[in-house]
A and B are shown apart, each in its own frame.
Chain A
Amino acid sequence: MANPASAEDELEATVAAVRAEPSTRHLLVDLLAESSPVYEGRGMATTARLRGWVLAAFEDVGLPAEACPYVLEELEIGIEPHLVAAAARAARGGERHPELGPCLLAAFENLVNRDDTVTFEAFRPRWPPERPTTALLEILETVRWLGPVGPVTAADWRDQQQRHGDRLSGAVAAALAETVVAVDGPAPALMGCCGSPEPSLGDEEEPVPRGWEGVVVEDQDARRYPLGSLLSNGPTVVAFFYTRCPNPNKCSLTIRQLAEAQRLLIDQSIDDQVGILALSYDPGYDGPDRLLRYGQDRGIRFGPTARLARAVAGHDQLRAGFRLRVGYRDTIVNRHAIEVFLVDSAGVIVATWARRRWDPAEIVGQAAALTAGPKVTPDRLPIPSDRAETGYESTRPQ
């Protein structure tokens, strides 16, 4: 693991160099990847400060298309004030486009009870800052910068005034009033979408079957299977999550949406042909009992084609195979994206939904299109726990 202090200094130096030469702004995009070495070993709060420093720089150096997914993600589902404020600033370095409006509205809703003073005046700021701001103030400034660009309108912001006015600080309330006026007008013609989507698995011209040999998973009933065997009987919707995730817009919502996808599959009578599998980023902590409770509390109906599981062998291979958007401090997640995959029975990842909120109906539609042939009864036997490979042991009596 790189020395944390030196990695942090390198990040600061890189951002400073890009500020001095904005044409090199693409160098900052690499620093946004969750698995970037600069975040390895860092805690969640420090990771947020470092990412915020990178994001905020885009306001001044320009926002490249490749960075747009990160900005939209943070606005749509982020709850950390420093990061959301940085994303709002970053947006102002890019093009005005309609996709920003709904994300900014979502950001306001997410932060209305979480607003906090932030500052971008120094890499390691001290208090009290000379140039303080807040997440809500930055969001509203970006809304005013965006102007009356649909589909979000002044009426939506007036609705925010009515619903949340009594819990806003004086400064934010004034900024919101100013914003309502600023966006009250006819929307201009729609512009193009925000930059290019992030390259994802499933986009390749010739997707490669993933070899999952060596990956063994343990499900909520403490039964163990080779991952390949769980994927081989039909298309599978594979999502990643962990029970200690502090953001309700990420993992908790992901599992609830998987439950919704399961209901749609049941309604279409193809739940025995399409698998639902949620794998934990946190295999050392998310044992069977936790997996069981977490899934039940969010509506998952467990069965042969619907499981929550953790890797008890081959977690690194899993991480590499799915190119997971996750970073760790030792074994604890410090940052991750929403990510859901559709995997066919050959183990090929045919589609990816990452960073943004996803529609269960869309995924179910694509999964249904992959189903073909007669119903196949799952014929997988669990691995006896006394022959399991790693230090993880089944916590349930067999």
Chain B
Amino acid sequence: MDAEDYRTTYEAEVEAAKKKAGEPTSRAKGGSSRGPTTASLLKTIRDPQARTADRTAAIGELSPRARSQAKVIETLIALLADTEDSPAVRTAALALLGELSFAVGEFQPHRSAYRDALRAAATDPDRKLRERVLEILALQGDEYAQRLIVEGLQEPSQALIHERKAVQYLSYDVHGEHQDVLRDVIDRSANKHVRNGALRMLAADSGSKDLFAQIVQDKDEDVEARSISAVALQSLAPDEFASAARDVVLDDDDDDEVRAALLTALRQDERRYDSDLGAELSRRQPTMRSAPLAKAAGAYIARSTEPDGEPG
């Protein structure tokens, strides 16, 4: 075999390996002129009888120039909207469309159709695909997506995505109305990760401060939930937090970890110092079983002697 033949054979083997792995080939990168044309790639992409791997590879092989062509974008959008086609192929189309949507000028004529396809796919039979689609729509503040997500939280049998994802996606819109739904999730969900996620999403919601106050003081609550609630309450309603935290700190039957965390938070509020609390902590500190609690108590007591402290 001469060198030229060896080189040609070697290149063909490399291209075949890339294609098999779904990687962009040299032609897709604007390199070698050998390889499929845009027309042949589109033919493969559109063919529901073709192998899934070939179709997704064809999507990956589209050159940067080809990707900006209207017929390519329209093909990808039509694919995304076709709920009877392969989820894997449609997911690949969605990924590429997501990239292309950043090209504001070129993509603008297709933006309405793209959102239509996203909305059509929001109730797709494939869970992963509809999760991705709903997240994209939720990030855009889409009313239809928000409505679907809320319906799923209100009626779990109709949920399109996991509760934790639903809570996360609703939080993307600060102008949304998900607060009541999130409070309901906190009230009924047995999944502590979901509950704590919902609590975090409500952290800036002034309508939830009573809920936060209740959780902070509830000894039966999850420790993390109480911590999240404490942080939120201190931001939303510092006076109410100080009162609730004080009660917990002085309750020897409560969780020491929580008591220490709340005491630390109270100490960090530079605008107030409760001298009665300080005096009571001074009396109890020598007999505190928990080292972190005793340390937090010591730090709080020390505030009474700081130059900028204002005895309450």
Contact = CB atoms under 8 A, between A and B. Distances in A.
Interface of A: 4, 41-46, 48-49, 82, 113, 115-117, 124-128, 132, 134, 166-170, 244, 246, 284, 329-334, 391, 393
B112 A45 contact: no
B112 A134 contact: yes
B174 interface: yes
A115 B142 CA distance: 13
Interface string B100-112: 0000110011111
Given A43-B177, A127-B116, 18 more contacts: A41-B177, A43-B146, A45-B141, A45-B143, A45-B176, A117-B115, A127-B122, A127-B123, A128-B81, A128-B119, A167-B108, A168-B108, A168-B109, A246-B175, A284-B206, A330-B207, A332-B174, A333-B175
Interface in B160-177: 173-177
B68 to A, nearest CB: 12
8 contacts: A43-B178, A134-B112, A166-B105, A167-B105, A169-B112, A246-B175, A330-B179, A393-B271
A256 B180 CA distance: 36
B159 interface: no
Contacts of B81: 128
Contacts of B146: 43, 45-46
Nearest to A164: B108
Nearest to A48: B143
Contacts of B120: 127-128
Nearest to A332: B175
Nearest to A167: B108
Interface residues of B, number: 36
Contacts of A331: 206-207
B147 interface: yes
Nearest to B237: A391
A127 B119 contact: yes
Contact of B147 (A4, A115, A124, A330): A124
Given A4-B177, A331-B206, A45 B142 contact: yes
A171 B176 CA distance: 32
Closest 7 CB pairs of A and B: A43-B177, A44-B175, A45-B143, A167-B108, A127-B119, A43-B176, A330-B207
B113 interface: yes
B116 A128 contact: yes
Contacts of B239: 391
Contacts of A393: 271
Main secondary structure on B side of the interface with A: helix
B174 A117 contact: no
B109 A169 contact: yes
Contact of A43 (B115, B173, B271): B173
Contacts of B178: 43
A18 B206 CA distance: 38
A125 B144 contact: yes
Contacts of B173: 43-45
Nearest to A333: B175
A293 B57 CA distance: 50
A117 B116 contact: yes
Interface centre among A4, A132, A170, by most chain B C-beta atoms within 10 angstroms, is: A170
B177 A115 contact: no
B184 interface: no
Contacts of A127: 116, 119-120, 122-123, 144
Contacts of A330: 179, 205-207
B292 interface: no
A168 B113 CA distance: 12
B238 interface: yes
A373 B144 CA distance: 59
A46 B177 contact: yes
Interface string B22-51: 000000000000000000000000000000
A244 B123 CA distance: 32
Contacts of A4: 177, 180
Given A41-B177, A128-B116, A115 B111 contact: yes
A156 B177 CA distance: 40
A52 to B, nearest CB: 10
B247 to A, nearest CB: 20
A284 B207 CA distance: 12
A316 B302 CA distance: 42
Nearest to B146: A45
Contacts of B271: 393
Interface string B164-207: 00000000011111111000000000000000000000000111
B175 A334 contact: yes
A71 to B, nearest CB: 21
Contacts of A391: 237-239
Nearest to B119: A127
Contacts of B104: 113
A132 to B, nearest CB: 7
Interface in B253-307: 271
A128 B117 CA distance: 8
Contacts of B119: 127-128
Nearest to A246: B175
A132 B113 CA distance: 11
Interface string B70-85: 0000000000010000
Contacts of A43: 146, 173, 175-178
A104 B215 CA distance: 52
Nearest to A128: B120
Interface centre among B109, B116, B175, B178, by most chain A C-beta atoms within 10 angstroms, is: B175
A115 B109 CA distance: 9
Interface centre among A127, A169, A330, by most chain B C-beta atoms within 10 angstroms, is: A127
Nearest to B147: A124
A292 B94 CA distance: 42
Nearest to B176: A43
A287 B41 CA distance: 56
